[in-house]
Amino acid sequence: MQSRISNLSRTVGSRSASVKASFAAVALVASPLAGLTTSAAAADAPGNPAPLSTQQRSDLVEQHLGIGRTSGGQAALVNSALADRGVTSAAAPGAVTLSWKPYTADARYTIVRDETPLTTTKPGQATFKDTNATAGASYQYRIIPELKGDTSTARTWGLTVAVPEVNRGETEAAAVQRTATTQAAAAKAAATTTLTWTTFIPEKYINQPIPKACKYWGSKYVYGGDNRGFDWKSSRYRTSASAVIDWKSHKVSGSTSVKATHVYKKSNKKLVAKKTASAKDMKVKKLGAGSGYADIRMVTHSTNPFCGGVAKVKGAIDGALTFHITRGGWEIRSGNHRQMPNHEIYIYNGGRVTWVYKSKYASPLCLVGSAMCDLKNLTGYYGKYK
């Protein structure tokens, strides 16, 4: 089964919808969440949170956020952005409840939080409560269906969830409301949104696996890696492509970069040669843009400048993606890449970074292409910003 992801998707809703109607909708879609109920401002002894302003109410509607209570009476931040697809989340201080519409009556699901599997559900189970969620943290959950037979239409649902934290002297309801309004305002406020796709080699040094394909190969030489993990702040990479969307002008500014390749003696790690591959095949292109959206095509392609290939087959970092981005979220409408090296895609929006995708490489031989290992299909990944 090809996993696919969504953080918390959907384009923004109508700004003119009434708060009463919006929270009624949240209550309806959140009904699987242990009897969750919603209101414009949940009361919580010994006091209530401050009344929401008209702008805050509008922002919550646009971002599909609601303030409610679980069946146990605890205040919770409800996200219904994926409600039309059967998925909701409710975050209370210290706990997150996920709910989804099952594919079949006996389907099982693996729940993953930040790449760590938490559990596999019983057949037919359609909710999960994470009681080990840290207040103030932000997590990316994945709900992965474990299906039999034809799984071509199956999706891996992805949700980025902020867990409310109660400050000193603050009620739980006030903390939930503060988290909700902060999230909604940040998603709206960004004048620009930046999409970045980088590839990197996690090791400090790596062997060249294809005999006689490169000028430097065999047991005497190693190639330099980037010596890092997934880290959007890092300046070490093999390739990088970025698109900056200006929401006022609808302009998209693209940039691409390829870092130099280093060859070292394996015995003493002394530098033997350094060369930078051409970036001519790296591309960032605006396909279209309008009020609140932009369609972007990204192509990443770079060879090892010391490698001529074998039998006209030249190994390369290679991939192409088409993104649809809105003020509230994103979707990969088509795309794949070779499974070497590591890939990371993230979006900077409203002062926060949202991870779109992380992939560890399968094998250096994947540089040759699909003849050596399958391409990674990214079509259908979609999500919403933190």
pLDDT tens per residue across span 277-287 = 999 999 999 99
CA distance 360 to 344: 9
Among 37-41, 99-103, 157-161, 224-228, which range has the highest average pLDDT?
Answer: 224-228
Q: Note whether 378 and 245 are same-domain residues.
A: yes
CA distance 359 to 361: 6
Report yes or no on 128 lying in a domain: yes
Report yes or no on 11 lying in a domain: no
Report yes or no on 12 lying in a domain: no
Average pLDDT in the chain: 81
151: left (phi over 0), alpha (psi -120 to 50) or beta: alpha
Predicted pLDDT of residue 153: 55
Q: Would you say 199 and 343 are in contact if contact means Cβ atoms under 8 Å apart?
A: yes
Q: Is the pLDDT of residue 9 over 60?
A: no
Predicted pLDDT of residue 285: 96
pTM (2 d.p.): 0.56
Find the helix or strand (DSSP H, E) in which 175 lies: helix 172-189
Q: Note whether 183 and 74 are same-domain residues.
A: yes
The domain boundary residue, chosen from 136, 166, 188: 188
Q: Note whether 111 and 208 are same-domain residues.
A: no
Predicted pLDDT of residue 39: 44
Among 2-16, 151-165, 174-188, which range has the highest average pLDDT?
Answer: 174-188
What are the respective helix, strand and coil percentages of the chain, to the nearest 5?
10, 40, 45
Q: Note whether 230 and 163 are same-domain residues.
A: no
**Confidence band, pLDDT 50/70/90 cuts, at residue 267:** very high
Q: Would you say 255 and 241 are in contact if contact means Cβ atoms under 8 Å apart?
A: yes
Q: Is the pLDDT of residue 25 over 80?
A: no
Q: What mean pLDDT is predicted for residues 182-187?
A: 77
The domain boundary residue, chosen from 188, 207, 226: 188
Q: Which residues constitute the domain of residue 211?
A: 192-384
Q: What is the percent of the chain where pLDDT is above 90?
A: 46
Q: Note whether 58 and 181 are same-domain residues.
A: yes
Q: Note whether 160 and 31 are same-domain residues.
A: yes
Q: What mean pLDDT is predicted for residues 134-147?
A: 86
11 CB-side CA count, 13 A: 8
**For the ranges 58-62, 127-131, 268-272, which has the lowest average pLDDT?**
58-62
**Confidence band, pLDDT 50/70/90 cuts, at residue 16:** very low
103: left (phi over 0), alpha (psi -120 to 50) or beta: alpha
Q: Note whether 278 and 153 are same-domain residues.
A: no
Instruction: Provide the number of structural domains found in the chain.
Output: 2
Q: Is the pLDDT of residue 386 over 80?
A: no
Q: Would you say 155 and 112 are in contact if contact means Cβ atoms under 8 Å apart?
A: no
Q: What mean pLDDT is predicted for residues 194-211?
A: 90
Q: What mean pLDDT is predicted for residues 332-338?
A: 94
Helix axes 54-62, 172-189, angle to 10 degrees: 70
CA distance 41 to 38: 8
Among 63-67, 68-72, 118-122, which range has the highest average pLDDT?
Answer: 118-122
Q: What mean pLDDT is predicted for residues 260-275?
A: 93
Report yes or no on 5 lying in a domain: no
Q: Note whether 362 and 220 are same-domain residues.
A: yes
CA distance 68 to 32: 13
Each as own residue / partner, the long-range contacts of residues 105-109 (CB below 8 Å, 24 or more positions apart, any chain) are 107/145, 107/146, 107/147, 108/145, 108/146, 109/143, 109/144, 109/145, 109/146
Report yes or no on 300 lying in a domain: yes
Q: Note whether 173 and 254 are same-domain residues.
A: no
**Confidence band, pLDDT 50/70/90 cuts, at residue 12:** very low
Q: What mean pLDDT is predicted for residues 108-115?
A: 87
Between 179 and 144, where is the model more confident?
179
> Looking at residue 176, which CATH number applies to its domain?
2.60.40.10
Q: How far from 298 is each of 107, 279, 358, CA to CA, in Å?
A: 36, 13, 16
Beta bridge partners of 284: 298
Predicted pLDDT of residue 114: 81
The domain boundary residue, chosen from 188, 218, 243: 188
Report yes or no on 3 lying in a domain: no
Q: Note whether 273 and 169 are same-domain residues.
A: no
**Confidence band, pLDDT 50/70/90 cuts, at residue 320:** very high
Predicted pLDDT of residue 265: 95
Report yes or no on 8 lying in a domain: no
Q: Note whether 202 and 331 are same-domain residues.
A: yes
Q: Note whether 220 and 138 are same-domain residues.
A: no
Report yes or no on 4 lying in a domain: no
Please name the residues in contact with 256: beta carbons below 8 A apart, sequence gap of 6 or more. Answer: 239, 240, 241, 242, 279, 282, 283, 284, 300
**Confidence band, pLDDT 50/70/90 cuts, at residue 151:** low
